[in-house]
Amino acid sequence: MGIDLSLIWAAIIAFGVMMYVVMDGFDLGIGILFPFVKRKGERDVMMNTVAPVWDGNETWLVLGGAALFGAFPLAYAVVLSALYLPLILMLLGLIFRGVAFEFRFKAKADKRHLWDKAFIGGSLTATFFQGVALGAYIDGFAVVERVYVGGAFAWLTPFSLFCGLALIVAYALLGCTWLIMKTEGRLQQQMHDLARPLVFVVLAVTGIVSLWTPLAHAEIAARWFSLPNLFWFLPVPLLVLLCTWALLRAVASNAHYSPFLLTLALIFLGYSGLGISLWPYIIPPSISIWEAAAPPQSQGFMLVGALFIIPFILMYTAWSYYVFRGKVTEEDGYH
Amino acid sequence: MFGIEALDLARIQFGFTISFHIIFPAITIGLASYLAVLEGLWLNTRQEVYRDLYHFWAKIFAVNFGMGVVSGLVMAYQFGTNWSAFSDFAGAVTGPLLTYEVLTAFFLEAGFLGVMLFGWQRVGPGLHFFSTLMVAIGTLISTFWILASNSWMHTPQGFEIIDGRVIPVDWFAVVFNPSFPYRLAHMATAAFLATAFFVGASAAWHLLRGRDNPALRKMLSMAMWMALLVAPIQAMIGDFHGLNTLKYQPAKIAAIEGHWENHGNEPTPLILFGWPDMQREETRFKLEIPALGSLILTHSLDQQVPALKEFAPEDRPNATIVFWTFRVMVGLGVLMILTGLWGLWLRARGRLYQSRAFLHLAVWMGPSGIIAMLAGWYTTEIGRQPWVIQGLMRTADASSGHSFAQMSLTLALFVVVYFALFGAGLGYMMRLVRKGPVTDEGKQATEGGPGRQRTPSRPLSAADEEPDDSDTPSGRS
């Protein structure tokens, strides 16, 4: 068969993970921004902007895990056990964050602050360890005969910790611009004021990660800086700068929608840069998608369903966002 | 340390996280279908009681669903984090089944949940009913795939082993493996029954306190019809499932029966109670009925049931545990059937809502479905040991091999977090139940029209009439 199933599945998983980063990114970002907003009514609004959609957003993370399990079981086994502690901590963070959505509105007034803290702490923990896991993933894993042989704390490096912090500011910017789009009045103004400094911080951490990665990994440096690759990939950093400039302008002109869309573009560009650096390895630095692939019987079986079902998923997800379109105010809280 | 090794901790961690998790999806499966029935009845009959009940149970459903989502997320990753050798060995089979569950079920549930819970006024009644139906169907599709995967681990077929890894060759055979139809039917029915007894207990609790309204009566009535009709069916499904297990996993049956050896040609007795002792290879203090074991399991008086001593000691499941978990499940099942019958008798005499003795029983039976379901899962899963995939891979060979220190740290975290958070969640669910369905509570939700303040589409904490919203101008959270 002339179809490269592994390539298609790598693309589907990459797509799923990107959907996750984009969608759960803004609702984790809202948790990260919670400490900047004190008034209960405004906090209610922040939560209500994502209440109808957050668990759909999180489902993309489940898809990422399950599809990796099915299409690249070796990668699922090695990467997940290598990242044992950060992933468990991420999951615990997501639990705190997830239950807070419901519990916060059920709690009595004297207990509500606990769920606010669970929401903030859970969002920060989940985001930080996602970033740490990402950094450790870029650093790669020691594998001998299909088994991870690095230590329990191999993921703990200055680079991975920095990636954790970087992801926090990136998700904060997503959440901030999402709220500019979905709210109005004082809360929106506050987010406007926050957006500009956040953009600069995001630009700074993106720059640091972009330099640190090739400096630490000769093969990634070679990927980017050898000719003719340099010319092919040069648009990525240039577009990042362009988007940042447009984003600053959009914020300055009090635009409602474009800041969020431009932030999405920024995230997409960063994600593409990551793909360029790592391709074609699914267990960096040396096991490719083809070496980790499940047999074609498995990948083919899954593909039939995925190609048929994912368009429907995208359709009804879009419909759900459409139903809950528009600004959320304190009066029309769903809770 | 205390004879416990990292592997045991890994097993305890999986058992702990999945035991907590399964409670939420079971209630989700049952309540989603219940809500679909209620909304269907409301649209058909326009009786307010159905709409009131819909809004009442939707609030409880929402809390429960959230906990199911986050505890399920852990499960999706735990195969890789804790059982990487299993994942590498069998991922080609179980991974695609899990992927289909996500694609066909999780997205469907999550995609329509928002509209179901928050969209009462944002979409028309038909579209809203459609959303509820999609969520309910999603929960059942999810049951289908996860049980296909689990059943395959009990009765694997449709594969080859190449280079030390499982390669699927016939997906139909993989999905419809021999134990799958029974396990699927048994679990789906268990979820419906567990929910019915939960709903029935909620109604009985209020009736006992002198609160009485049509919604409460309807709850109890519907729950008792379910008990009457479905509990006996569940017993029959369980019987078929047992026969299937006898055929494919005889060691599990021998352990459940605490049956160590056959003597000559005499039929196998049924041990009612006793203490199977794995070291002494006998069941101590036993109370047995001659020949009944053969009668139940082979439906004959001359065939014998396999005995534990026919299996090598290292291939025997722990009979002490499964003997008792099985009896807890069956005992509760019998109580459920009796509750249904008593309910019918009282109903015929017009005393269903008044008999205090019966209402007390109904309250006590509230958690029976959940406990029976957990006991059943312990029986089947511990009964499969020492295999993680029957006959193919031992549990001892399946783990990631994390250190004792790592496993104890994460286990401690899970225990603390699960008890604290899900304990609080169950507390909130109980608080909602204690408030009870209020007559006309469904009406509030539809009074806000366009241009007016939208009353909360999901009157969640709006229904909590606690003075905790004083700092919001609208008085609603």
SS3 of residue B454 by DSSP: coil
pLDDT of A8: 94
Q: How far is B141 from chain A (nearest CA, A)?
A: 14
DSSP state letters, B6-33 = HHHHHHHHHHHHHHHHHHHHHHHHHHHH
pLDDT, mean of residues B219-240: 95
pLDDT of B443: 66
Identify the closest residue of chain A to B405 by CA–CA distance.
A152
Greatest mean pLDDT among A22-31, A61-70, B332-341 lies in B332-341
Nearest Cα neighbor of A85 from B208, B210, B52, B82 is B82
pLDDT of B447: 33
pLDDT, mean of residues B156-170: 93
Question: Which of chain B's residues have a Cβ under 8 Å away from the Cβ of A323?
Answer: 114-115, 119, 122-123
* Percentage, residues of chain A above pLDDT 90: 61
Cβ burial, residue B451 (10 Å; 0-12/13-18/19+):
exposed
In chain B the first and final C-alpha atoms are separated, in Å, by 50
Nearest to B96 among A83, A301, A316 (CB): A301
Identify the closest residue of chain A to B417 by CA–CA distance.
A92
Q: Do B117 and A81 touch (CB under 8 A)?
A: no
pLDDT, mean of residues B423-432: 91
Q: Do A62 and B65 touch (CB under 8 A)?
A: no
Q: Residue B193: which pLDDT band, with cuts at 50, 70 and 90?
A: very high
Cβ burial, residue A233 (10 Å; 0-12/13-18/19+):
middle
Task: Tell me the C-alpha distance between A84 and A152, whole Å.
Answer: 8
Indicate the average pLDDT of chain A. 90
Q: Is A210 in contact with A239 (CB distance < 8 Å)?
A: no
Burial B247-279 (b: 16+ CB within 10 A, else e): ebbbbbbbbbbbbbebeeeebbbbbeebebeee
Q: Is B360 in contact with B207 (CB distance < 8 Å)?
A: no
Q: How far is A24 from chain B (nearest CA, A)?
A: 13
pLDDT of B400: 87
pLDDT of B468: 37
Question: Which of chain B's residues have a Cβ under 8 Å away from the Cβ of A155?
Answer: none
Nearest Cα neighbor of B25 from B93, B59, B75, B86 is B75
pLDDT of B300: 84
Nearest Cα neighbor of B454 from A330, A153, A196 is A330
Task: Tell me the C-alpha distance between A201 and A220, whole Å.
Answer: 24
Q: Do B472 and A330 touch (CB under 8 A)?
A: yes
> Hey, what's the torsion of the CAs at B14, B20, B24, B29, to 10 degrees?
50
Q: Is this complex scored with an ipTM above 0.85?
A: yes
Q: Do B425 and A102 touch (CB under 8 A)?
A: yes
Poorest-pLDDT segment among A191-205, B268-282, B334-348: B268-282
Q: Is B333 in contact with B238 (CB distance < 8 Å)?
A: yes
pLDDT of B433: 92
Contacts of B280 (CB under 8 A, 6+ apart): none
Helix (H) or strand (E) holding B270: strand B270-277
Nearest to B96 among A52, A55, A70 (CB): A70
Contacts of A35 (CB under 8 A, 6+ apart): A120
Q: Residue B439: which pLDDT band, with cuts at 50, 70 and 90?
A: confident
Residue the block writes with tokens 């648009």: A235
pLDDT of B298: 85
pLDDT, mean of residues A272-291: 90
Parallel/antiparallel/unpaired status of strands A287-288 and B270-277: unpaired
Q: Residue B281: which pLDDT band, with cuts at 50, 70 and 90?
A: confident
- Pick A164 or B287 by higher pLDDT: A164
Q: Is A99 in contact with A91 (CB distance < 8 Å)?
A: no
Report helix, strand and coil shares of chain B as percent, to nearest 5: 70, 5, 25
Q: Residue B2: which pLDDT band, with cuts at 50, 70 and 90?
A: low
Task: Tell me the C-alpha distance between A103 and B9, whole Å.
Answer: 31
DSSP state of B2: T
pLDDT (tens digit, 9 = 90+) per residue, A200-254? 999 999 999 999 999 999 889 988 888 888 888 888 999 999 999 999 999 999 8
Neighbours of A306 (CB within 10 A): 25
DSSP state letters, B123-163 = S-HHHHHHHHHHHHHHHHHHHHHHHHHHHHHHS--SEEEET
pLDDT (tens digit, 9 = 90+) per residue, B200-226? 999 999 999 988 889 999 999 999 999
Question: Which of chain B's residues have a Cβ under 8 Å away from the Cβ of A88?
Answer: 81, 410, 413
pLDDT of B474: 35
Q: Do A61 and B73 touch (CB under 8 A)?
A: yes
Give chain B's radius of gyration (CA, Å): 24
Q: Is A86 in contact with A133 (CB distance < 8 Å)?
A: yes
pLDDT of A335: 52
Question: Which of chain B's residues have a Cβ under 8 Å away from the Cβ of A335?
Answer: 456, 458, 460-462, 477
Q: Is A110 in contact with A116 (CB distance < 8 Å)?
A: no
B473 has pLDDT over 80:
no
Identify the closest residue of chain B to A56 by CA–CA distance.
B110
pLDDT of B442: 66
Q: Is A69 in contact with B94 (CB distance < 8 Å)?
A: yes
Contacts of B354 (CB under 8 A, 6+ apart): none
Nearest to B421 among A99, A106, A319 (CB): A99
Q: Do B85 and A77 touch (CB under 8 A)?
A: yes
Q: How far is A217 from chain B (nearest CA, A)?
A: 26
* B314's tokens: 């290292």
Poorest-pLDDT segment among A321-325, B324-328, B343-347: A321-325
> Hey, what's the torsion of the CAs at B441, B443, B446, B448, to 10 degrees?
-80
Question: Which of chain A's residues have a Cβ under 8 Å away from the Cβ of B85?
Answer: 77, 147
Identify the closest residue of chain A to B400 by CA–CA distance.
A81
Nearest to B111 among A81, A83, A316 (CB): A316
pLDDT (tens digit, 9 = 90+) per residue, B362-406? 999 999 999 999 999 999 999 999 999 999 999 999 988 888 888
Q: Do B95 and A71 touch (CB under 8 A)?
A: yes
Identify the closest residue of chain B to A305 by CA–CA distance.
B100
pLDDT, mean of residues A330-334: 63
3-state secondary structure chain A: CCCCHHHHHHHHHHHHHHHHHHHHHHHHHHHHHHHHCCCHHHHHHHHHCCCCCHHHHHHHHHHHHHHHHHHCHHHHHHHHHHCHHHHHHHHHHHHHHHHHHHHHHHCCHHHHHHHHHHHHHHHHHHHHHHHHHHHHHHHCCCEECCEECCCCCCCCCHHHHHHHHHHHHHHHHHHHHHHHHHCCHHHHHHHHHHHHHHHHHHHHHHHHHHHHHHHHCHHHHHHHHCCCHHHHHCHHHHHHHHHHHHHHHHHHCCCCCHHHHHHHHHHHHHHHHHHHHHCCEEECCCEECCCCCCCHHHHHHHHHHHHHHHHHHHHHHHHHHHHCCCCCCCCCCCC
- Pick B476 or A45 by higher pLDDT: A45
CA distances from A274 to A13, A14, A138, B32, B321 (A): 14, 11, 8, 41, 50
Nearest to B77 among A65, A301, A316 (CB): A65
Cβ burial, residue B169 (10 Å; 0-12/13-18/19+):
middle
Residue the block writes with tokens 């408030």: B435
Q: Give the mutation candidate from B16, B70, B104 for the A interface (greatest A CB count, under 10 A).
A: B70
Task: Tell me the C-alpha distance between B251 and A318, whole Å.
Answer: 51
Nearest Cα neighbor of A177 from A323, A32, A324 is A32
Task: Tell me the C-alpha distance between B258 and B307, whole Å.
Answer: 8
pLDDT of B283: 86
